[in-house]
């Protein structure tokens, strides 16, 4: 389904382009000018830095077409209203352009078009290299790319303006930039560039991303997971690798390899890195610590007899890596000049799929990969379609804020007095169990780095299991179903399986009193509704408005039952019902269970405190005839007698309070 796209900073690409074409002038972006403030906020620009356009031939052509030029000693002088204007020379015009025949793309788009440059943004370049391998992804980030391409046959249609799209906090933002790029003293692009000098898509994409984040220097240091989300709108899930366990246990290595294989087959994006105190320090094997690599292929291969004779195994698990620097530094087994490759012909390599496509790519044995790398980031893509196949993730989301004015910033669960003051969002699992993926994303603060406020907040969330009939805010922590980690990242993710029931998610900052905006996303394979709980008490219906107001709140936790069937007899199908006044809540049916684990939590706001709350346990016999009869065991909270003569015990817990906001 098409998604709405928002103009970043109110700049419309099509309106600005048409205005430039009408004036016959190349676009100059007033919101991201070709000045030092667009480059750095701390350090000084290198000496000799200039801003140049890929091509200014159009401007030169317009000057030649104008009848107002006079030639003077090889110089061009413009005359207008009898006043003397600035002096331009053919040499100066050439100095203001980078090349004669620029292109947005040369022979398509690939990972070899990415060389990092002098900026410490390998995290972003690694993410773009993953993006470049999948056309359906980069075409979304570089919209109508054919219309943005230089057209040598129609130079009059070029306006020096480009636009790119990035996903930010649930919205696709369209970012406009001009084509002026920072160039070093020796005439080379200062930052990201292509191996082909006349190709500029990567440099212009980086400029748009720098504008989105405030300036180029704001891209120094970052998290690959953040960039993957910005480029795809997907969900990044970090995987921390236990190198010692993976080294000792082949079954764990195999399980991880199968996970990466499935992820890669689903066209998800994968990056990895080696954690360390010293960033971008080179190890003996040639890999770089603290540097982001992209995984471009995951392959299981069978080796021929030539390799087996050298002592190898018949089957290998392999991964293909890419270094954003465009160099192949890995020196271990299956590196570029290793002896393993000498045993294979080009045809054998192609047959096994062991192909190196681009500069900077290399293959590794998966065992070596597990020995060196410590972190893997998987970006799972989310497709929004009208028809949802069963294996696709469905997404629901809600925006929220940690607000100081409403005391909606209570901190993590360690702060028991204020934790439940945080925003609360409820959802319900209707199946027996459901795999869910919960993602909390905070607003981006990188663009505030100029003001010294660009650090992410430490964030996380708790998932509480609540009463199945709850419809108001949680006032007491009864059962923690899941907890995320807390980290100062733009995104925190938790994936797990939840049982049937109703749940409340509390997104929080680590410390109380910290404010900010966030987006809560929940993914599942079935339809789940997510909504914020705003009221401390449930809203009364029209009928209930005519009745006395509740005076007592009671929770009933029906844990289990036992001994419902005599020994050596087949247990019946059973279910339970909890009744209070005009409300009743029932469990699912437990098949052939004499000792069912109900785990049913209910809450009742009672108008008549002296009225009994009853718990009924029903069993469903299967007689020889077609009709089904129900018999039941009814017990109230003061104890009672069995109407059916069944034996057994029901285990439950209750809690009551005259303060309706206590439970």
Per the model's pLDDT, the better-predicted residue between 54 and 266 turns out to be 54
The third-level CATH classification (topology) of the domain covering 397-533 is Jelly Rolls (2.60.120)
Q: Which of 163, 264, 291, 421 is catalytic?
A: 291
Q: Whole-angstrom Cα distance, residue 511 to residue 411?
A: 4
Q: Which of 20, 122, 409, 412 is catalytic?
A: 122
Is the pLDDT score of 386 beyond 70?
Answer: no
CATH for the 235-380 domain, from 1.10.3720.10, 1.10.260.30, 3.30.365.10, 3.90.70.10: 3.90.70.10
pLDDT digits (tens, 9 = 90+) for 579-619: 998 899 999 999 888 889 999 999 999 999 888 899 988 87
Per the model's pLDDT, the better-predicted residue between 152 and 516 turns out to be 516
Question: Length of the chain, please?
Answer: 663
| Helices and strands (H and E) in the chain: how many | 15, 30
Tokens linked to 42 = 């701390």
Q: Is 31 left (phi over 0), alpha (psi -120 to 50) or beta?
A: alpha
Is the pLDDT score of 425 beyond 90?
Answer: yes
For this structure, is 96 an active site residue?
Answer: no
Is the pLDDT score of 73 beyond 80?
Answer: no
Residue with tokens 């430039």, as numbered in its chain: 20
Strands (E), 96-198: 161-168, 171-178, 181-183
Cα of first residue to Cα of last residue in the chain, in angstroms, is 42
Is the pLDDT score of 71 beyond 60?
Answer: no
Q: Once rounded to an integer, what is the mean pLDDT over residues 213-219?
A: 93
pLDDT digits (tens, 9 = 90+) for 559-575: 998 888 777 777 788 89
Range from 59-63, 150-154, 347-351 carrying the lowest mean pLDDT: 59-63
Give the pLDDT of residue 81.
Answer: 39
CATH classification code of 542-657: 2.60.40.150
Is the pLDDT score of 389 beyond 60?
Answer: no
Q: Once rounded to an integer, what is the mean pLDDT over residues 359-388?
A: 80
Q: Once rounded to an integer, what is the mean pLDDT over residues 225-250?
A: 88
Is the pLDDT score of 65 beyond 60?
Answer: no
Q: Once rounded to an integer, what is the mean pLDDT over residues 300-316?
A: 63
Q: Which of 121, 213, 223, 323 is catalytic?
A: 323
What secondary structure does DSSP assign to 313-339, as a single string?
Answer: -SEEEEEEEE-TTS-----STTSTT-H
What torsion, rounded to 10 degrees, do the Cα atoms 248, 250, 251, 257 define?
Answer: 120
Give the pLDDT of residue 473.
Answer: 96
Same fold flag, 235-380 and 542-657: no
Model confidence at 240, in pLDDT bands (50, 70, 90)? confident
Is the pLDDT score of 628 beyond 70?
Answer: no
Is the pLDDT score of 518 beyond 90?
Answer: yes
Domain boundaries, the chain: 5-56+96-232, 235-380, 397-533, 542-657
What torsion, rounded to 10 degrees, do the Cα atoms 233, 234, 238, 239 define?
Answer: -160
For this structure, is 527 an active site residue?
Answer: no
pLDDT digits (tens, 9 = 90+) for 455-504: 899 999 999 999 999 999 999 998 999 999 999 989 999 999 999 999 99
Q: Whole-angstrom Cα distance, residue 168 to residue 523?
A: 18
What torsion, rounded to 10 degrees, do the Cα atoms 533, 520, 555, 419 define?
Answer: -90
- Work out the angle between the directed axes of helices 122-132 and 224-232 (0-180°, nearest 10): 40
For this structure, is 649 an active site residue?
Answer: no
Range from 90-94, 103-107, 523-527 carrying the lowest mean pLDDT: 90-94
Is the pLDDT score of 321 beyond 80?
Answer: yes
- Work out the angle between the directed axes of helices 201-213 and 122-132 (0-180°, nearest 10): 130
Model confidence at 509, in pLDDT bands (50, 70, 90)? very high
């Amino acid at each position: 389904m098409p998604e709405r796209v928002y103009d970043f900073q109110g700049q419309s690409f099509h309106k600005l382009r048409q205005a430039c074409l009408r004036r016959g002038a190349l676009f100059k972006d007033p919101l991201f000018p070709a000045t030092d403030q667009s480059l750095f906020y701390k350090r000084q620009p290198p000496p000799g830095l200039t801003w140049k356009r890929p091509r200014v031939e159009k401007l030169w052509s317009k000057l030649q077409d104008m009848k107002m030029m006079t030639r003077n000693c090889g110089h061009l002088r413009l005359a207008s209203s009898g006043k003397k204007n600035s002096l331009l020379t053919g040499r100066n015009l050439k100095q203001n352009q980078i090349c004669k025949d620029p292109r947005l793309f040369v022979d398509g788009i690939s990972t070899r078009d990415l060389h990092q440059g002098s900026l410490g943004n390998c995290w972003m370049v690694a993410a773009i290299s993953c993006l470049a391998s999948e056309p359906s992804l980069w075409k979304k980030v570089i919209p109508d790319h054919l219309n943005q391409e230089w057209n040598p046959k129609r130079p009059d249609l070029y306006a020096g303006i480009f636009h790119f799209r990035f996903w930010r906090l649930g919205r696709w933002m369209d970012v406009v930039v001009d084509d002026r790029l920072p160039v070093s003293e020796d005439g080379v692009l200062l930052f990201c560039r292509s191996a082909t000098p006349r190709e500029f898509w990567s440099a212009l994409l980086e400029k748009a991303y720098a504008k989105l984040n405030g300036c180029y220097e704001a891209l120094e240091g970052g998290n690959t997971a953040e960039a993957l989300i910005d480029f795809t709108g997907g969900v990044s899930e970090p995987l921390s690798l236990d190198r010692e366990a993976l080294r000792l246990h082949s079954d764990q290595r195999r399980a991880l390899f199968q996970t990466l294989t499935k992820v890669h087959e689903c066209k998800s994006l994968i990056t990895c890195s080696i954690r360390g105190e010293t960033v971008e320090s080179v190890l003996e094997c040639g890999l770089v610590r603290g540097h982001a690599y992209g995984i471009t292929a995951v392959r299981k291969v069978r080796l021929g007899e030539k390799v087996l004779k050298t002592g190898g195994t018949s089957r290998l698990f392999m991964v293909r890596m890419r270094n954003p620097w465009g160099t192949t530094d890995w020196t271990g087994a299956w590196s570029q000049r290793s002896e393993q490759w000498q045993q294979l012909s080009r045809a054998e390599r192609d047959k096994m799929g062991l192909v190196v496509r681009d500069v900077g790519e290399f293959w590794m044995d998966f065992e070596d990969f597990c020995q060196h790398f410590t972190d893997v980031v998987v970006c799972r893509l989310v497709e929004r379609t009208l028809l949802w196949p069963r294996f696709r993730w469905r997404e629901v989301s809600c925006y929220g804020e940690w607000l100081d004015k409403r005391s909606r910033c209570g901190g993590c669960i360690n702060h028991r007095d204020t934790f439940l003051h945080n925003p609360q969002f409820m959802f319900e699992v209707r199946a027996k169990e459901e795999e869910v993926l919960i993602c909390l994303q905070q607003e981006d603060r990188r663009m505030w780095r100029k003001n010294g406020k660009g650090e992410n907040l430490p964030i996380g969330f708790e998932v509480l299991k609540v009463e199945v009939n709850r419809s108001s805010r949680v006032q007491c922590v009864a059962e923690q179903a899941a907890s995320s980690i807390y980290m100062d990242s733009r995104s925190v993710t938790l994936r797990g399986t939840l049982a049937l029931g109703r749940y409340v998610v509390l997104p929080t900052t680590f410390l109380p009193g910290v404010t900010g905006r966030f987006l809560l996303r929940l993914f599942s394979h079935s339809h789940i509704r997510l909504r914020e709980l705003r009221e401390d008490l449930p809203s009364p219906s029209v009928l209930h408005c005519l009745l006395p107001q509740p005076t007592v709140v009671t929770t009933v936790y029906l844990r289990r039952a036992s001994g419902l069937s005599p020994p050596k007899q087949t247990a019946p199908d059973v279910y339970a019902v909890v009744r209070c006044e005009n409300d009743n809540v029932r469990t699912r049916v437990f098949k052939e269970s004499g000792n069912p684990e109900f785990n049913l939590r209910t809450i009742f706001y009672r108008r008549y405190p002296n009225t009994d709350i009853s718990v009924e346990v029903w069993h469903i016999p299967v007689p020889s005839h077609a009709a089904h009869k129900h018999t039941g065991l009814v017990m109230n909270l003061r104890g009672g007698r069995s109407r059916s003569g069944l034996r057994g015990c029901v285990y439950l817990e209750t809690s009551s309070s005259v303060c309706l906001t206590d439970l």
